[in-house]
Amino acid sequence: MNEAKEDAKFRRELTQALRESTESFSNSMKEVNRTMLNVGASISNSVQMLTNVLLQQQQPTQQPSAMFYQPPPQPYVQNNQPGFYAMLQNNNSDATEHT
């Protein structure tokens, strides 16, 4: 009689463990599904953004306005004297004149 009670108890515990395991697995699969949907949506948004960028690059671009224009840098002059590179050029031209 004790064996039958122990066997019934074992079956109930086993059945309960299988239910909990199945429920846990089901919840995990729902989370995986939700995550995959989020990844798919993110990839779709990324592709849409890249498409928009490529379409904008194919359209003719306007010239930058004068507000953003910066003149080229001027040679360095200190105390109204030419900079180092200008002095080198002068020295080189002097050397070529003497030969």
Classify residue 94: in a domain, yes or no: no
Residue 42 sits in which domain range?
1-55
Q: What pLDDT band is residue 39 in, cutting at 50, 70 and 90? A: very high
Helix or strand or coil: residue 82? strand
Is the pLDDT confidence value at 17 over 90? yes
Structure letter (DSSP) for residue 70: -
Is the pLDDT confidence value at 38 over 60? yes
d(CA 23, CA 21): 5
Classify residue 16: in a domain, yes or no: yes
Question: What is this structure's pTM?
Answer: 0.46
Classify residue 97: in a domain, yes or no: no
Classify residue 32: in a domain, yes or no: yes
Q: Looking at residue 15, what is its pLDDT?
A: 96
Is the pLDDT confidence value at 24 over 70? yes
More confident residue, 24 or 71: 24
Q: Looking at residue 55, what is its pLDDT?
A: 87
d(CA 51, CA 30): 32
Helices marked H in 1-99: 2-58, 84-98
